[in-house]
Structure formats: C-alpha cells, structure tokens
C-alpha cells in the first residue's frame, strides 16, 4: 500500500525462498570476490575510512578459537541449577528459552527486611536455557561474552550452569539427551524495556500515527549508547549479527542502586569473531533487520550488518513504524527494501562485488527490475524522499489525527541525514558505529553519554 501511495508499481511478490542452484550474477568468476575483498582491505587501511578492518586477524589464535578452547573455560564460574529460582519467562526463541531468576545465594547474603513477596532487584539475574544446539555454538557464545566483558553497554556473563549428564553424553556413557547448559547473565533492570517506539513494547504496531513513547532527546541518547556498545564490540573483533529492538534494552527510570547501564545490548548467540576475506553464514539476523548483503547471499560481510540493524531501528523510531521493512519472507523483504532505497544502487552493489545469488532470486530480480522487464524506466523504484514517505504513511489512515503537541516531528535534517548514511546497500559505504557517533545528530547528547561511558570504564577497571 505504501508503495502505491508513493506512485510506484509494487514489485511482484514471490513466496519462493532464496534457494536452489547457486550461480554467478552477474556472470563473473566467484574468486573475484576474494581478490576484491583483499584489495579493499588494503585500501581501507591506507585511507583509514573504516574502523577495525583487520578484525581478529592480528590477534593470537587463542583469542578467537572457541572450538579448541576448554569447555567450560577456566575463567567462567560454574554454578549449580539449585542456585537459582526461576520467577518468570522473559522470552523464547529458536535456540533458547530465557527466564528471570533470583540468585538464591545472593538473596541469603542480602537478607533484606522486605516482604517475602517483594524481590530485591539486586538478586535478579537472567537465565538463558539453551535448546539442543551444536556445542561449538555454545562455546562461541561463551567466548564472545568473555571477550566483550569490558565493553560498555553489553550484557555480562555471570556464570554457566552445566549438568553432569551433559558431559556423560560425550564420554559415551549415556544415550539419553543431556540437559543443555544454561548461561546466567546480568539483569538489565526490572524496569528495562525494548528500544522501540511503542510505550507498551508492542513491535507489531501498524499505526504510524501512534506517537513515540521516546522523546527526540531520548532517541538520540539511547541510540548513541547503542552505537557505543557496537563500536566497543567491533573493536574487540566481534560482529553481533542480530541487532534489533528486542535485543536492545533501555532503562528510562534511572539508576536503581545497581549502577546499571542506561542501555544493554543482549543476546550474543549469533555473534562471531570477524576475519576479513572469510565467508560467513548469511542465515543470521532476524528477517526484518537483515542487511541487503545477507538477503543477496553475499557471505563476505563484516561489522556493517550491525549498522544496518541500527538504521532499521532509527527508521522505525522516526516514522513510528516498527518493523520498518516488513517482508513475509526473505525475497519479499528485499522487495520492501527496494521499494524505499530504489533498484539502481542495488544493481551497482551486485555488479561491484560480483555477488553470487541463487537462480531463483536472479529470476525474481530480472523479472521485476531488469531493463528488459515490463517496467518502464520512469516506473522503476527510485530511492524515496523521506518526507514523501512520511506523507504516504499518514495518507493510509487519514481519519486518525496526529497529536502534534505530544508528538513533535522527528524528521529533522540531521536525523534523515544519519538515516541516509546507515540504510545503504553497499556495506563499504555504510557508516561505521565510530563514524555515526560523530554525526551532528548526537551533538546534544554526546557530552553526557561520553561522561557516562568514561565512568563505566573507570568502574570496570577497578573491578579487574
């Protein structure tokens, strides 16, 4: 509907998944990607345009080799399942169930005089109960959390719960399915909430008229802290690979005596160590926040996929539309992106890197958007003007009047300029977290946020 409001033909919607025989599109040698990636890496280092281009390539193997690391690591505290009392389920996913829990031992130490029904927030932890997955993935997540332990605004690993029967499986003395390990994490705060536009945390809202529960200042403030978390993570050579509102928790109600971060980036289950010119699995990130390189099957990606997620979060906040791109499958998700960013830059991106796409996706793109398709040049999707997009959103439900007093326009020149630098097809042209933090959009919050980050660094150093 939005596409029609913008005066463009809606692309053909296909429910075919991105699968099938892989071909080169355009037809060039696939090995060109490796050579191009290497040359690009050298160019980046010379020009200093991109942050942390070497990733983990200059670090010792022990820094990132989770497959050969001892499990559990000697540096990770191992505790018993009896040490924690689950209070409520926080969420469930493909790879884990997440619960809020009370640290029973800590509760005894504090021995508060509160009513028995009142839980002391200092005793709260988050227990991530893993579902049956390959042990290498568990090892990877634990090592990532260890390496990111000093990064501001990143969830902290407190302990690991491993039952004896889990190890019996690998000794060959048990044929039963072992109880999977659980990760015990620091609680983000009892009043924490997702970083999204809806006051009730409803990410399925379809009303663009619902005013943001975050003020203009708060959007800048929390987004800066998110970028600081990602910049710190990238500096350690780690890609998050699942940036979305539900993985970003904010504390609007201030300090509860626990000196919690104003923002916490959680769920590093898909995070991985970055090595330049190494192919990675493209089946990462949630569909609505997948970067174009993932949807197109470009496995030679880097930290930039995390900044695409930030761009999607910012767009959702600015336009009161969450998720911002709403495809029902990966192919339709790409169509949704094309409807906003246009097709020409995507063709240029595919050609620049000689990206390999599947045969089914190639046919889909050629049928819908190629010069030989039925679309005339004037009707091919062009990058939209953001103000036009805003008007199109409002025209969908004209009977709903927007309260200008409680929801001032967020579409400032600074905000839209930053958005243009994040929602970019070419991952090399997409701004890094370090670059984005210097944008004038954050001028009003930078001093405060930087002071908080310095305070965090000081307290983290004392804790060592």
Q: What are phi and psi of 167, to 5 degrees?
A: -75, -25
The two tokens of residue 288 are: 């609505």
Q: Is the dihedral of CA 443, 318, 242, 357 positive or negative?
A: negative
Contacts for 352 with CB less than 8 Å, ≥ 6 apart: 426
CA-CA distance, 288 to 49, in Å (whole number)? 28
Burial class of residue 400, CB neighbours in 10 A (0-12, 13-18, 19+): exposed
Return the closest-CA partner of residue 346 out of 355, 315, 36: 355
CB-based contact 331:9 (threshold 8 Å) = no
Residues 6+ apart with CB under 8 A from 107: 120, 123
- The answer to whether residues 16 and 10 touch, using CB atoms and an 8 Å cutoff, is no
Per the annotation, the verdict on 82 as an active-site residue is: no
Catalytic residue selected from 242, 267, 302, 306: 242
Angle between helical axes of 330-341 and 359-369 (0-180°, round to 10)? 30
Catalytic positions are 242
């Amino acid at each position: 509907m939005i596409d029609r409001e913008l005066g463009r033909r809606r692309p053909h919607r296909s429910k075919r998944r991105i699968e099938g025989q892989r071909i080169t599109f355009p037809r060039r040698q696939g090995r060109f990607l490796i050579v191009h990636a290497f040359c690009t890496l050298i160019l980046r280092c010379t020009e200093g345009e991109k942050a942390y281009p070497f990733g983990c390539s200059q670090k010792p193997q022990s820094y990132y080799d989770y497959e050969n690391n001892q499990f559990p690591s000697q540096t990770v505290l191992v505790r018993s399942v009896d040490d924690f009392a689950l209070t409520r389920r926080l969420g469930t996913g493909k790879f884990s169930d997440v619960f809020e829990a009370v640290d029973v031992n800590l509760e005894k130490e504090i021995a508060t005089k509160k009513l028995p029904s009142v839980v002391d927030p200092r005793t709260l932890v988050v227990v991530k109960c893993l579902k049956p997955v390959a042990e290498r993935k568990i090892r990877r997540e634990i090592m990532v959390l260890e390496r990111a332990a000093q990064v501001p605004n990143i969830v902290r690993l407190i302990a690991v719960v491993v039952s004896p029967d889990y190890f019996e499986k690998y000794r060959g003395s048990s044929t039963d399915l072992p109880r999977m390990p659980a990760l015990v994490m620091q609680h983000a705060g009892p009043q924490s909430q997702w970083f999204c536009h809806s006051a009730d945390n409803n990410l399925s809202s379809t009303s663009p008229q619902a005013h943001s529960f975050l003020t203009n200042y708060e959007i800048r403030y929390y987004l800066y802290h998110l970028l600081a978390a990602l910049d710190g993570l990238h500096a350690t050579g780690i890609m998050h690979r699942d940036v979305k509102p539900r993985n970003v928790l904010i504390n609007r109600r201030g300090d509860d005596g626990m000196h919690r971060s104003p923002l916490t980036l959680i769920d590093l289950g898909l995070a991985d160590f970055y090595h330049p010119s190494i192919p990675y699995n493209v089946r990462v990130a949630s569909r609505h926040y997948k970067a174009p390189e993932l949807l197109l099957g470009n496995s030679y990606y880097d930290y930039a996929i995390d900044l695409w997620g930030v761009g999607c979060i910012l767009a959702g906040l600015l336009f009161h539309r969450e998720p911002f791109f709403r495809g029902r499958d990966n192919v339709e998700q790409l169509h949704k992106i094309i409807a906003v960013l246009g097709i020409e830059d995507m063709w240029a991106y595919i050609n620049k890197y000689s990206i390999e796409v599947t045969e089914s996706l190639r046919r889909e793109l050629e049928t819908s958007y190629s010069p030989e398709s039925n679309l005339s040049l004037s009707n091919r999707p062009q990058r939209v003007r953001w103000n036009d997009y805003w008007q199109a959103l409002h025209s969908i439900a004209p009977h709903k009047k927007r309260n200008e007093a409680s929801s001032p326009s967020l579409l400032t020149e600074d905000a839209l300029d930053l958005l243009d630098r994040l929602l970019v097809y070419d991952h090399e042209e997409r701004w890094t977290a370090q670059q984005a933090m210097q944008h004038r959009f954050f001028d009003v919050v930078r001093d405060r946020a930087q002071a908080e980050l310095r305070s965090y660094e000081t307290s983290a150093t004392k804790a060592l």
